[in-house]
Structure 1
Amino acid sequence: MSLSKKIFRRFAAAQWIELAIALFVLGGLIAYNIAREHQRVEAVERDRLATQARVISRNLEFQLKGANQALLGVLEELREQSLLHHKVDTQHLRLLANAMPGIRAISVFDNQGNLISSNYPEFVGQNFSHREYFTTVKEHPSRETLYISKPFKGLNGRYLINVTRMVPDKAGGFAGIVTATLNPEYFTTLLTSVLYAPDVESSLAHGDGLLFIVEPAREGHAAQESRMIAQRIVQSGLLKMDKSLDVTVSRDTEAIFESWRHTSLIEIGFFLLFTIFSVSFLYIYQKHQRRYEQLATASALALERSEKLFRSTYDSAAIGMALLNLGGRFIKANQALCNIVGYTEEELCQKTFAEITHPDDLEANRSLMRELVAGACVNYQMEKRYFHKDGRIIWILLTGSATHDSRNEVLYFVVQIQDINEQKALQEKLKTQAFQDYLTGLPNRRHFMEQAAIELARVARYGGELSLLMVDVDNFKKVNDTYGHQTGDRVLQKLGEVSKAILRDVDLIGRIGGEEFAILLPETDGEKAREVAERLRVAIAHESLILEMGVPLQFTVSIGVATIADHAINLDTFLARADTALYHAKTTGRNKISLAH
């Protein structure tokens, strides 16, 4: 191995090691940044959820303290009235409940569970001894305890929680209860107020685990859903609550880290793209360095072979090829081009391209050559006409390009020429067939409909008279069945010939199907249209075809006539009116004219 190759390999290896170290460090920094951002997002979200839970918890503690004070006030009033011998004033209870947005009702029950006072007087007298908030206090009486009931369904169907205190008798025993029903609408509003994102969920549950309120109300979570949760237990030591209320605020972890995932994927994606780019660039760079000498030698060899191939291809090409100087004179022409234009190469080299180009195509050709010289295009293609040596015009497809020197100046033009005479003839034939009926030479249905629509639009815009004739050969099927389809074709051709002889140049006739023809008469009212139809009917009736053996054949037509009375009419309606009139003519005797009404 040569010294230069050893040095190159060592240098290349060092480059790969440096790149690997740089990518490793960059990848480590990106991974560290992604992990740190994850921790930051998690910490921020946990703190935010905890804050929302704390807001709800403090609000609930405030409400429970207020409810407790209200219950103590009612108890004091009961003691002043010798316990339960007198009812508490309903208006007073209503004022207490209305003063506290978190309380829906305040009620007093005797030791049998009978409701004796309430801000809802309609329920007074009913017995509620079966309710858990009553039985719990009765079974475990304590004058210091604030009882928190389990959620229960009220008379209106809503789930409620009661905050209750025992009413003691003179001996300190159980004499009844005074209870405050928490207002679920207030707590729903409270829980909703902390929903700062669509996926946030807040809930309030009893200490025994029974759920009271969930906002927003959902059927349930997906089986694989993971949530970040912040919880607070509402149980004030000063109130001596028998049960706690549990506040929960949570978020879907997928939503929490969605932005983090998006940013992380972008960073990872950029890192991967940078890695791919760096590795690819270094690989290509080193490969280029290794092959520089080989490519230089190979390029010189390839150029020599290319020139030989061009000379061989040029001489034996199936399409015409030629070189022209900047003045447009032929420098060289292959045999295929000579065959196309009929000149020998020597004859062509004494001419310019302008001398054999049709005058109508000359300026366009020169304009494209000027663009080529100016560098506005690298090549051009055009269809043009040449004059053959025998004088006839031939269509060719010409592709032109230019050869430049080292200063990018044009040396000469290279043109490729293909004979497209047959293609042009076929195009013209197809173009004619697209709008002409092959049998009669008249416009076909498509072409007639297009022209009729244009004429109808003109009349609708500028006004004027317009009439339409629908012409049908009488007993045409019988002609075909009796004399054969060739005779039927001759009948249709004769009808077309007679019609064209009678009609004006501005009139439009077309074969729109089978033996049916349509004729559009511009600037023609109903009476004039009837006269034209009658002349046509009579002329056809007097015509005859000479069949084999000299037998004459005469035929007749029925004609329906329609004239525009409403310029807003559409083409389909116009045709339908004329067709209806034609049908009337055929069903009432044939060989006659019928006017549309």
Structure 2
Amino acid sequence: MATFIVSTMVLWTFVFHNISTYRDLDRQVAETNAQMMAKAYHEYLLRTIRQIDQAAQLLRNEYAKELGGLNSRSQELFSVLSPDLLFQVAVIGRDGRLAFSNLQRVTDGIDLSDREHFRVHREREGDFLFISKPLLGRVSQKWSIQFTRKIFNDRGEFDGVIVLSIDPYHLGRFSESVSLAGRDVIALLRQDRTLLSRVLGGSYDEQYLGKVVEPRPYMDPHAPDSGVFEVTSYIDGVQRIGGYQKLRPYDLLVVAMVDQEAAFARSRSAALLGYLIGVGGTVLLTLAALATRIAIRTVFREYVTVKAMNAELKAAHEELADAHRALKRREEELVVLAETDPLCRIPNRRRFIAVAESELVRHRRYGRDLSIVVLDIDHFKVVNDTHGHTAGDAVLIGVTRVIRKRLRETDTFARIGGEEFAIVLPETDGGGAFTVAESLRQAVAETLIDLDAGRSATVTISIGIACLDERHTSVSDILNRADKALYSAKGSGRNRTVHGEECGLRM
């Protein structure tokens, strides 16, 4: 009897232990999947929002110049951005009335002073991107989410709002790049719990757009920036395991949730198998003590099976980790490609502006010298027209090689458009920048550049220099002054270097 009792206790202890182990493994896999999806969706939204914000700031600058420029630049953005991302550009004047829309000509301005984004920009200080609740456009008659920035007049006062209307469906298109089970969910919410986008099982779910969901602990402003949770949805009553990521700069929250029932399917099968083993073993032990050896062998075989399944789960978990690392590497590669000129293999304008902003902050903090050089290839159009665009590309590459060899590792050399290049020279005053610029100009002029089919050519460059001073404290100011110096060099006959007055050199 004692042997029977001990054997039965051992059997059921083994069964319950394995059921618990399987459930813990399924939970770990579900939490890992939810966290990885939330992280990937977070990165997707971060890139998308930054792209929209850059477009908003560009259009705001165009509006400050002239309204006609805003209309033409809007058309350019529509041709560059994804067609289902941006469908309306509008301007609300300081009086709250519609001043511009790319969808129709504005004659009698519609009163939009009750819109949330207009009131927020009018009442709050500072320059920031605001993301509205989903709303139905009075002009477009389409559901949209408004990405807005404040417009300032010449005195720095509130002068209206630039509005980019985004289709909410686009914010959920990330689901097309991942595999969602039937009741898996990814969603985007504002900090006030307003639902901006929801995808259920790979299908966009618009019926809850703009609804305010019930509060959860992870929605608290003081909660960590990321984590996992278990919840029963108030929308459909489904129990899910979720992961979240906060986009604090934009007061947004990303949530990815996997169906708990589907996630625990393997552990339920293991539990059923375990119960069958337990019941069968108990029956065998009860029927005859002689069957003890057979029962032990059965248990052992099941143990081997469980061990093999555990190994499969571990391998699957490692595969997920490898996939996550590969995704991370791919994201890093995409960042490099996005910031590198594809022809010359040097930083592009986006990377140049980022480096220049960083260097400007550092040099202003420590009171150090900083210069920016802008150069342009003289008569480049003639090269293209005479020898063809392939030869023009060869000239761009050849000039890039000549200049790169003569710069320091701390200097940033970038192609910022067409045949125009720019250089950030840290720790360099006006005299030093002029010396560097002249050496580059002479080196380019003395270099015979190989084109193709045995042809070669020489080119010259014109250079403009601007330096950091107390009056001009932004990268755009310094670049504008360098451009003016460049135009002066062009107008003075080309193949020369001109510096701004702030560089402390005699003209």
TM-score, normalization by structure 1: 0.40
TM-score, normalization by structure 2: 0.47
Larger radius of gyration: 1
Structure with the larger RCO, 1 or 2 (CA within 8 Å, 6+ apart): 2
